[in-house]
Structure 1
């Protein structure tokens, strides 16, 4: 199995490496996403704009009744996207993300997603902040770091360095507690992004996520490795749980075992997707064996297209 390409480990992540990552993000996003305002979730805003004819899927709460009465055709009122919004990131860097068999480790994809989100946020003059979770220990909740929301490229670069420099700790992280940090204290309406592999039980983080959706547009960035979806036929495979440290040997030559593993993995991912859908969160899946930046660009383009047509995610 080819070892994954990865960014340097926590101890040797240099400013030059992060600068190259930011340059790659800037070139691709600015080259493929043209327009005055290109956030990941360009919200509907609160400032009234022009009216247009109603299309199936439009929010009926935006009906423009005076224009509808004059024209005898259903119309909805457009709104202008708010500027100077706050974007908050909940970045899960628990031990399960320190794994990867593709081109990247899951942790690296999570850090890269932070870089892209920071770029998309500050280019609109908005503020960005983050809460970071780095696993748990037997005697406590582990590291929960809060980085205040600030505007400006220099501040965004500082946030990215802080996230990339967070030390991964052994143990199972509490994603629910991390998401709950975005609910307290209450903040004005903005964008909240949760970056994780979501391997914690959905009942742990589902309720805090639904609570977060009441006040904010929510995006869930799910980081996945292909070996979490299916096993290759490579004989006896020693597997270590990065959160518990337990070692298991798996006989991957057994086709029945591989089939059961794939079915269980599909059911797990289906449960994650269903919980995110129930919470009303937009869902972006990034894989370690794919061009994660291109997947982000496609997601942004799809969101902008949906907003243009008046439909929701």
Structure 2
């Protein structure tokens, strides 16, 4: 039986209180430098700066143009973009459960201080957009949607074969996120295993032109190192295609390990080229410890 949203939130709030409060105080003062109310620093003027930010008194004293830097207002809008595709659900409770707990934890963390949080839940079969709002009721609403059963896509049978599923269109997920968040600059958390159709790098990169994007890859350890389970039936998490393999075969294990390493390197490079802050969380990790480390790393990156 699925955990009720209020029980899940109470449990996560307790864990957040024990593991995060105090450690992360002030860790996310602002998303970026902007034109808010709080002055932070002076720096030399560059051709890309707005002349309205020039500090004329300092410029006159030093005989060199300087601009004032400010922090934007603390209140921000955050979006949770959650991949709910077949590969996230494959194999029973795992990646989808981690993504749900992570999304609710981030929503609770960001919402403190009056920040607004919205969510985009994506699957090829259906998409759900929850407009950003403040308050605990919004976190419960997001938790309720995440805990609801994901829609099942219609399957088409071809020549008597087992119906095949379409691989996840990650590019469509990022285009939906860009269209939904176009009105206001936001902090966007993307939670996905990034298993799907190629071609998502450019749409993700375009999303970063306007927003600060944090990509969180949710990975099952078996995807990195297949355990020796003897002869088993392996099913493609996205397409449903099945294959009988001997996991004890050292040649097969070596080949699969090489493919996993190559895919990790390819994904790391693609996320770097897209210009996003990327993190990897495995399903066997301590989620709160991983969250602490992730937010601390984000804080260091903004200094």
TM-score (norm 2): 0.82
CA distance in 1, matches of 2:11, 2:240: 33
2:78 maps to which residue?
87
CA distance in 2, matches of 1:259, 1:73: 61
SS of 1:188's equivalent? coil
Q: Quick one: structure 1 residues 283 and 77, their matched pair in 2 at CA, closer, same or farther if it must change by over 3 Å?
A: farther
SS of 1:184's equivalent? helix
* Residue of 32, 38, 60 corresponding to 2:28: 38
1:206 maps to which residue?
201
Q: 1:190: how far off?
A: 1.3
* Residue of 1, 4, 16 corresponding to 1:25: 16
1:224 maps to which residue?
219
Q: Quick one: structure 1 residues 157 and 235, their matched pair in 2 at CA, closer, same or farther if it must change by over 3 Å?
A: same
Does residue 267 of structure 2 align to residue 272 of structure 1?
Answer: yes
* Residue of 10, 27, 41 corresponding to 1:51: 41
Q: 1:291: how far off?
A: 1.2
Q: Quick one: structure 1 residues 68 and 99, their matched pair in 2 at CA, closer, same or farther if it must change by over 3 Å?
A: farther
TM-score (norm 1): 0.79
Contact 2:170 / 2:197 at 8 angstroms: preserved in 1? no
SS of 1:215's equivalent? coil
Does residue 252 of structure 2 align to residue 257 of structure 1?
Answer: yes
1:292 maps to which residue?
287
2:161 maps to which residue?
none
In structure 1, the gaps of 5 or more residues are 1-7, 137-141, 309-313
In structure 2, the gaps of 5 or more residues are 154-164
Contact 2:233 / 2:245 at 8 angstroms: preserved in 1? yes
* Residue of 106, 109, 115 corresponding to 2:95: 106
RMSD of aligned C-alpha atoms? 2.9
CA distance in 2, matches of 1:60, 1:152: 42
Aligned residues: 283
Map residues 23-172 of structure 1 onto 2, 5 A cutoff. Answer: 23-35=14-26, 38=28, 42-47=31-36, 49-51=39-41, 67=58, 70=61, 77-99=68-90, 105-134=94-123, 136=124, 142-167=125-150, 169=152, 171=165, 172=167
CA distance in 2, matches of 1:271, 1:24: 34
SS of 2:284's equivalent? coil
Q: Quick one: structure 1 residues 52 and 146, their matched pair in 2 at CA, closer, same or farther if it must change by over 3 Å?
A: same
CA distance in 1, matches of 2:135, 2:4: 21
Map residues 234-249 of structure 1 onto 2, 5 A cutoff. Answer: 234-249=229-244
Contact 2:31 / 2:212 at 8 angstroms: preserved in 1? no
SS of 1:285's equivalent? strand
Contact 1:179 / 1:194 at 8 angstroms: preserved in 2? no
Map Cα deviations across residues 121-176 of structure 1 (whole Å, 9 max, x no partner): 21131111111113x3xxxxx11111111111221221122122242535333222
CA distance in 1, matches of 2:101, 2:288: 8
Q: 1:306: how far off?
A: 3.0
